[in-house]
Amino acid sequence: MPSYGQIFQAMGLIQGKRGNFAEAGAYLEKALALEPYNVAAHVNLGNVHLASNDHARAEAHYRSALQVDANEVSALVMLARVLAETGRGEAALPLLRRALALDRENQYARQLHRALTGNTEDPR
């Protein structure tokens, strides 16, 4: 049986997919209030903030996810995206290399790495 935190997280995902970012954020905040170490909820709330162009809050949630699980590929890649979008592309590169070391086939990480470096070779 799923926990209340997992249920709130699922509701947040559903609302986010519908484009209801305020509702999605509220559900994900509830999930994190119950389960502050829920990596997926942090990543998803970061995605909600990023969709709303709130880079600072998105960055904070991606970093929180990585404090819980330093190998969470989606948090690594999305944090790299935030850094790149806020003019910190050089800081994004080590995150992308780490993400690709964990998931060599991650196409979004590969695309972002290419966009930042212009290099089409294997970034590892």
Residue 39 has pLDDT above 60, yes or no: yes
Q: Which residues does 82 contact at the CB level (< 8 Å), separation at least 6?
A: 46, 50, 55, 58, 59, 62
- Same domain for 45 and 99, yes or no, is no
| CATH code assigned at 19 | 1.25.40.10
- Same domain for 87 and 36, yes or no, is no
- pLDDT for 45: 97
| Higher pLDDT, residue 1 or 111 | 111
Q: Which domain holds residue 31?
A: 1-69
Q: Please compute the mean of the pLDDT values over residues 16-43 and round it to a whole number.
A: 96
Domain count, the chain: 2
- Same domain for 92 and 31, yes or no, is no
- pLDDT for 122: 60
- Same domain for 36 and 13, yes or no, is yes
- Same domain for 27 and 46, yes or no, is yes
- Looking at 33, 50, 69, the residue that finishes a domain is 69
pTM reported for the whole predicted model: 0.92
Q: Please compute the mean of the pLDDT values over residues 50-69 and round it to a whole number.
A: 97
Residue 36: how many CA atoms within 13 Å on its side-chain side?
2
- Same domain for 1 and 44, yes or no, is yes
Q: In the predicted model, what is the mean pLDDT of the chain?
A: 94
Over the range 40-66, which residues count as b (16 or more CB within 10 Å of their CB) and which as e?
Answer: bbbbbbbbbbbeeebbebbbbbbebbb
Cα dihedral 44, 76, 110, 91, rounded to 10, equals 130
- Same domain for 41 and 88, yes or no, is no
- What percent of the chain has pLDDT above 90? 92
- Same domain for 44 and 29, yes or no, is yes
